[in-house]
Amino acid sequence: MKSKILNVSLNRKVENLSYPIIIGDNILSSSGEILKEFIYKKNVIVIYDSFFSVKTSPNNEFEEFVQSINKLTTTLNFIDIPGGDQTKNINQLNEIIEKVLTYGIDRQNVIIAFGGGVIGDIAGFAASILLRGINYIQVPTTLLSQVDSSVGGKTGINSKIGKNLIGSFHQPQAVLADINILKTLPNREFRAGFAEVVKYGLIKDLEFFNWLNQEYDSIFIYDKIKLQKMITKSCEIKAKIIKNDEKEGGKRALLNLGHTFAHAIESFGNFDGRIIHGEAVSIGICLAFKLSNKLCFCSTDDTKKVINLFQKSKLPTSLHDIKKLSISTSGMIQKFKLDKKNRQNELTFILNKRIGESFIKHNVSVNVLTQFLNEEI
């Protein structure tokens, strides 16, 4: 199967920027050749998920990756950290930075983030602040990170107050997504990643949403041709949105459909794994459609179609599906107030007029949200 190569182009006032996303099957063993222009005769530090330290990967994809790039680098060092949102904290960030600094780095060094969204987020953030910015490459190993978090330059960590409140925009030099490694994922993680895929159809592309509904069975038996098409289309939609809005001053906020609810839900779980990001996004998107319907923006029929696809995917679709978390209306409202999309203390949500057409709704009433959440909790 031939690899797909997309370019993410960003229109900047001072200088434009573009970088490749390479999406293919079993391409980690060719990583050195693919990434040669970025790593040749460079000091490289690989920050990777400690999951790959154990021989859990049937074909040792991580070892193949290391062997491939080792031929080209001047030095190659490693830092392993655990996956999971609890890793995205200031203490872990400081530990990474101190380890990287012991290698005597300069601005010609390259960090490679090998793992899921958590690894990419924290490694990318470390790269953005070390020496005021060094280059990094994303090698996402989960469905969620391949279609979403590895593309677009959002990096960061969580605070005790909320999710992703500390971070920066720092674009990678390249993204290398190997479909083959998705087979190492637990089923729960793959399904959670699918929630982010569905999001793209909901915000921008009815035809893609319908295709996902139609090809659902093939996707969940890991049909590689369908997976490549799905991941490529997701990245294409995201790349088009961020092209003219790198730092989320406008339409890039559409990519946060469901995330205002999701981030609040996750923080109730203290990022301890009782609910993972994609599951929270699934609930968040369903709540966003229900709220859109309540405010007469979106039809009941479209709302049911969205909920049905997530239910078919065995993802949670309501707050009643996560009774293990003690969620309250007042607590949710307080967490909404921390959302980065808000303006001048006005609550902002991404809502939908229909499947395939999201919009930014400013100044959503606290009274409306309170009534809505009381009905949902």
DSSP string, 277-320: HHHHHHHHHHHHHHHHHHTTSS-HHHHHHHHHHHHHTT---SGG
End-to-end CA distance of the chain: 47
Cβ-Cβ contacts under 8 Å for 142 (sequence gap 6 or more): 115, 116, 117, 182, 185, 189, 190, 193
Calpha distance 313→87 (Å, rounded): 27
Tokens of 323: 């009774």
Calpha distance 32→284 (Å, rounded): 39
Residue with tokens 């970025």: 38
Beta strand 43-49 with 4-10 is: unpaired
DSSP string, 57-118: STT-HHHHHHHHHHTT-SEEEEEEE--SGGG-SHHHHHHHHHHHHHT---TT-EEEEEESHH
Calpha distance 264→244 (Å, rounded): 28
Q: Looking at this protein, which amino acid is placed at residue 90? A: I
Residue-level length of the chain: 377
Which residue numbers are catalytic? 132, 154, 196, 238, 248, 252, 256, 259, 263, 277
Largest CA distance in the chain: 61
